[in-house]
Structure 1
Amino acid sequence: MERDSVDLLQPLWRALVVFRLITWVFACFGVWSRWDGIVRPSGAVLQLAIMGIWTVISSIGYSRRWGRRNTRLAFADLIVTVGCMYATLLAQPLVDIRGGASVLTSVWAAGPVIALAISRGRDGGLLGAATISLVLLSLRGVENASKILANVQLLLVAGLVVGYAASTLRQAGARLREAIAAESATAERLRLSRSIHDGVLQVLAQVQRRGTAIGGEAVELAQLAAEQEVALRTLMSTRPVVAEGDRIDLCGLLLPLATTRVDVVVPAGQVLLPAAVAGELVAAVKEALSNVDKHAGSQARSWVVVEDLGDEVLVSIRDDGTGTTPARLEQARVDGHLGVSQSIRGRIADLGGSVMVRTAPGEGTEWELKVSTA
């Protein structure tokens, strides 16, 4: 049997293969035990032969990747099973079946219900159960509907339970794949970090020290070396951007913003937000940092701090620049400078969050952006 890297559904497929084989044997035993009551025994033998051949074919398919990944086999299984159920008419007249004679497929007919539940989840299981139930009803007749109620209930329960289990395992498999990928990326990042730290970072640090000591034009070279050292350290410390469904880790998006003048401080764990919310929040942070570059002074430093408050996330952007006054911020909005009113306040307001700004001449500026994690 081919092996998938991470396929938690394999045990279910293997159980289905065993189920088809065992129920075919049960169907054969049922025909043998009722042999004297079968009107046309040759028709029963032909039906069992077809069921046996299809059991082998479907079992081989469900034991291979192509059979598990492609739902066409499960739908083909449903069609063949329906045909085998109607093939009971080769052995028993319809009037006898409606009079109480058994449908020779017996429990074997539940195979495609389980197959569709595994491959398509709850909806696939219900579709298979409804189809088999309708075929059974057409053979038994509406007047005997109460007699097949227990069979219909078992088919529906099987479709629901197996479908739910398959969907849950599929989601768990996706999370496991993401975890394995993140672990591999982290291990590779650590390996590269050791190599970079032992070589490139030490050279850049030496260039920075020597350039500063020499002075003159070498100072510019030292500044460039310092910037590249910070960029490399940020790259080494940045963790992979992890997504779970439609939610994404805000910290992984903010860490790359760190420079020689910008420090980014985030929690050790993930801070998951809806992808759209995280994107708008990062854009607002970038606009705040852009304002620092434009208005706070050439030597101003900034700090971005993320706090996970449970049902809310607080992002603070603080600088040690020249600062301003609330009145000047309001005047900038009136004059048509939309960086504050639209790119920051507008974005956060559209997310249903809140914005607070504290500033004073000579004391820098601090923004607090708060949004819901829901």
Structure 2
Amino acid sequence: MKAATDDARQPRDTADLLLPLWRALVVFRWITWAFACFGVWTRWDGIQRHSGAIVQLALMGVWTVIASIGYSRHWGRRNTRLAFADLIVTVGCMYATLLAQPLVDVRAGASVLTSVWAAGPVLALAISRGRDGGLLGAVVVSLALLSLRGVDHAWDILSNVQLLLVAGLVVGYAATTMRRANVRLREAIAAESATAERLRLSRSIHDGVLQVLAQVQRRGTAIGGEAAELAALAAEQEVALRTLMASRPATGERGRIDLCMLLLPLATPRVDIVVPAEQVPLPTAMATELVAVVKEALSNVDKHAGPDARSWVVIEDLGDEVLLSIRDDGAGTTPDRLDGAGSDGHLGVSQSIRGRLTDLGGSVTVRTAPGEGTEWEMKVTRS
């Protein structure tokens, strides 16, 4: 069961961009432990209690094995408890120097036997918790070092403290950046997979269902009568299926949503929605308001443009601005009547359309004439 679980998690770990940092941390742990052992060997004659130094190195070695196993497994990298435990054990090993050297000797200049090995939890917290975790680890290790050396020797350990802080900041920033990149990579992979599946289904639908619906529509229109009603229903379903085939992920950046994806479901046999190939991400509130504007404009077409009027909704991405055009080939009206609709109690134009665009900081123009339909042109600035 355990092996099966590890196998199931391995693909997820393989795609983890932080994995090289964790592997480097394991290597760092072993190299610095070996460096601490070498330091004890070179200073062997100056150590007061040799047995205490051996015990300390043994504790450091055992914990290096435990931490290496944990950081090499998904549970150890995902759960920050191991990194915090690493910090506690490392501080304890630093104080274990007192088993080999009296506190008086340490404050007189004797080395803390953990040496660079003590930087391990700083890096672990930086990788798992980002900048704040790295700084926390650096501060705790620095305070432990200061308590061993004494306040009078604070200046002597300043360079060590600086290195710990810099390591926590740099590695934490790098880990945060890589974690964000990892999220975007996974989203991109998911979107690519969804697009490939959608294309496969689209081909199947196009070769079968859409052709049947198109044939029903043609034959029903030609026969007339009750068959014409079936033709109309077939036309509606054809538009719905084509809209579904053209759909794409609606979410873009955090807090933004694709305006095109919100408007595509509004397509009907009498309403064409024309969108660019790329997404048009807008703040969610802005996109929702623009969809409400389009719905109000299309509602006005149904009410006033005539039963056979067709509409076209076109989205253009101009970079810093988004242009939204709504045009119909209906009966049209005069600009004066359109402007005076509000005073007659019809507030759709003044509030639902122009009011919303004003609240969004955008602009709206309308062109209309009797018998020539109506065209709305709305422009908003991306925020």
TM-score, scaled to structure 1: 0.96
Once the two structures are superposed, the pairs formed by residues 171-320 of structure 1 within 5 Å of their partners are 171-320=180-329
Q: Which residue of 2 aligns with 1:120?
A: 129
244-253 vs 6-15, greater mean Cα deviation: 244-253
* SS in structure 2 of the partner of residue 3 of structure 1: helix
How far apart are residue 119 of structure 1 and its match?
0.8
For residues 152-185 of structure 1, what are the alpha-carbon distances to aligned partners after superposition, in whole Å with 9 as ceiling and x for unaligned? 1111111111111111111111111111111111
For residues 333-370 of structure 1, what are the alpha-carbon distances to aligned partners after superposition, in whole Å with 9 as ceiling and x for unaligned? 23443322332222222222222222222222222221
Aligned equivalents of 1:202, 1:217: Cα separation in 2 = 21
328-337 vs 49-58, greater mean Cα deviation: 328-337
* SS in structure 2 of the partner of residue 243 of structure 1: coil
Q: Which residue of 1 aligns with 2:353?
A: 344
Which of 41, 51, 60 aligns to 2:50? It is 41
- Over the matched positions of the two proteins, sequence identity in percent amounts to 81
Aligned equivalents of 1:255, 1:164: Cα separation in 2 = 40
Aligned equivalents of 2:164, 2:11: Cα separation in 1 = 29
Aligned equivalents of 2:101, 2:337: Cα separation in 1 = 93
Unmatched 5+ residue regions in structure 1? none
Q: Does 1:358 align with 2:367?
A: yes
Q: Does 1:3 align with 2:10?
A: yes
* SS in structure 2 of the partner of residue 361 of structure 1: coil
Q: Does 1:75 align with 2:67?
A: no
C-alpha RMSD of matched pairs (Å):
1.5
How far apart are residue 221 of structure 1 and its match?
0.9
Unmatched 5+ residue regions in structure 2? 1-5
Between Structure 1 and Structure 2, how many residues are aligned? Answer: 374
Aligned equivalents of 1:328, 1:41: Cα separation in 2 = 100
For residues 26-84 of structure 1, what are the alpha-carbon distances to aligned partners after superposition, in whole Å with 9 as ceiling and x for unaligned? 11111121111111222222211111111111111111111111111111111111111
Moved over 4 A (4+): none
Q: Which residue of 1 aligns with 2:110?
A: 101
* SS in structure 2 of the partner of residue 281 of structure 1: helix
How far apart are residue 139 of structure 1 and its match?
1.4
Q: Which residue of 2 aligns with 1:134?
A: 143
Distance 1:315 1:38, change over 3 A: same
Aligned equivalents of 1:111, 1:7: Cα separation in 2 = 21
TM-score, scaled to structure 2: 0.93
For residues 249-274 of structure 1, what are the alpha-carbon distances to aligned partners after superposition, in whole Å with 9 as ceiling and x for unaligned? 22222222221111111122222212
Aligned equivalents of 1:364, 1:296: Cα separation in 2 = 7
How far apart are residue 151 of structure 1 and its match?
1.0
Which of 163, 168, 192 aligns to 1:154? It is 163
